[in-house]
Amino acid sequence: MSMPLTEAAIEARYQSSFGRAAGYLPRDRKAVDAWQVELVQRARAQLAGQHVKPVQELADLLDRETDLRDRVTRTIEGALKLHPGGVRNIDEMLTCLDEITQTAPHYRLDPRQRIYFPMSALFCYMMAVKDDGWELFRDQRFNDALRKILKAWCVFLDSEESRYVLYDGPDGWLSQAAYEDFKLYEFEVDPDAPYGGFASYNAFFHRPIKPEFRPNGALHDLRAVVSPNDGSVVMAYANVQKDADILDIKHQRYSLRKLLSKYSGIDSFVGGTVFQSFLSGANYHRWHAPVDGVIEYKETVEGLMFSELYSKQVDPTAGTLSQGYQANVNTRGIVVIKSTSPDIGKVCVIPVGITEISSVTITAEVGQRVTRGDEIGYFSYGGSSMCLVFEPNKVDFTVPTGVPGTVTDDGAPIFVNSTIARAK
């Protein structure tokens, strides 16, 4: 068994994690430690209770698959060496998952206390355990069981019961601090209605934006490509190939065969460019058509959720190196638009779910004609990224993309309906 990470190494890995970069986990790791202690104490007081259905299914899986159970146990033991206040055994982990599926995230004024990704916070140290931890979250059996649990949480967050955090008190999402922090004045929020007029927490999370805050200045510019999402640029990766090694942290690659799943028109994108951006928790979480055209293909791929790029190195770019890897393997949507501007060709829109929920909803239909700026889908609660795939030699980018093939954690901001590229 390999030795666990040192305190300095786990701190560096935590600070470079996607959840910390996205603001869903606090800047101060001690806040995660305290939160874990509190969650585990609540779990220990309820160990005699019944599990929710998908958590019980995970328990049954671990009873049947002894090799998987042994790996979970070793991972928990390794995590305890990094944080002694975490879960001590599988039963406590399962009960913590029960608790999470029935809880909505509160707003926190203090950034050091923001635990907006509870499963990421629960698995924070487990994911950092060398070998066993990395492999556990790649294990399809464990991943599929977690997906069912996440879907149960999503059902709760889609329900009226989840609205209890939508209020104007200090820890409420409708507080004055939250209004300014998350620029709620840009969104369709009714401050005079109960719960801001939202039917659920998820309805609040993927709330519509007021059109005047995302004007479409390129509506009549047929050569323009507009951003499908709010966020910041991660990278533009040129000459993408059908098959590529995606596990080398120094030379992060996209594999079209993995990225585009079952889409039969992969060959038209070989040699093209992948443009990837990152969405923070404060960003608008609906996505729009980047070009005028017809929806040729759509698919939702159920992939991994908590898997990180395998490397002995710490990602110094606050989770952005892993985003290229995650685009290849994570839960994601695939929407191919055949542009009515022949100079642009086909454009593939790939919303990527990361960690919690990993839920993408495609609202556009195959055969539907769309105009740039039309809404085509949204993320439910959770981390997210977005890829656009262009055919070769079709566009020039009008936003800074940094050094070709490299990534950044402080990329240029982009906004829905703003021009990001033009036909050559």
pLDDT per residue over 274-286, tens digit each? 999 988 877 899 9
Residues 277, 217 contacting (CB under 8 angstroms): no
Kindly write down the DSSP assignment for every residue of 248-309, as one continuous string. -GGG---BHHHHTTT-TTGGGGTT-EEEEEEE-TTS--EEE-SSSEEEEEEEEE--BSS---
**3-state DSSP helix/strand/coil percent for the chain, to nearest 5?**
35, 20, 45
Provide mean pLDDT across the span 299-320.
Answer: 65
Q: Which of 169-173, 245-249, 367-371 is most confident?
A: 367-371
| For residue 249, pLDDT beyond 80 | no
Q: Percent of the chain beyond pLDDT 90?
A: 60
Mean pLDDT lowest among 51-60, 287-296, 347-356: 347-356
Instruction: Report the candidate in 349, 214, 229 with the shortest Cα–Cα distance to residue 280.
Output: 229
pLDDT mean across residues, the chain: 87
| For residue 1, pLDDT beyond 80 | no
| For residue 75, pLDDT beyond 50 | yes
| For residue 251, pLDDT beyond 60 | no
What's the confidence (pLDDT) of residue 80?
A: 92
Distance of CA 233 to the CA centre of its chain: 15
The whole-angstrom separation of Cα 132 and Cα 130 is 6
pTM value? 0.88
pLDDT confidence bin for 316, thresholds 50/70/90: very low
Strand partners, 423: 395
DSSP 206: T
pLDDT confidence bin for 162, thresholds 50/70/90: very high
| For residue 175, pLDDT beyond 90 | yes
| For residue 63, pLDDT beyond 80 | yes
Mean pLDDT lowest among 52-56, 116-120, 317-321, 408-412: 317-321
Structure-model confidence comparison of residues 169 and 3, the more confident one: 169
- 3-state SS assignment for residue 223: coil
pLDDT confidence bin for 315, thresholds 50/70/90: very low
Mean pLDDT lowest among 40-44, 68-72, 148-152: 40-44
Q: Percent of the chain beyond pLDDT 70?
A: 88
Structure tokens that stand for 306 in this block: 């908590």
Provide mean pLDDT across the span 249-265.
Answer: 81
Structure-model confidence comparison of residues 332 and 217, the more confident one: 332
The whole-angstrom separation of Cα 36 and Cα 42 is 10
What's the confidence (pLDDT) of residue 192?
A: 92
| For residue 233, pLDDT beyond 80 | yes
Provide mean pLDDT across the span 44-62.
Answer: 87
Q: Which of 26-35, 249-258, 333-342 is most confident?
A: 333-342
Residue 379: Cβ-neighbour burial (10 angstroms; 0-12, 13-18, 19+): buried
200 residue type, one letter? S
Structure-model confidence comparison of residues 16 and 406, the more confident one: 16
Provide mean pLDDT across the span 1-16.
Answer: 71
Provide mean pLDDT across the span 17-39.
Answer: 83
| For residue 400, pLDDT beyond 80 | yes
**Domains in the chain, start-ordered, CATH in brackets?**
7-157 (no CATH), 160-199 (no CATH), 216-423 (2.70.70)
Structure-model confidence comparison of residues 322 and 91, the more confident one: 91
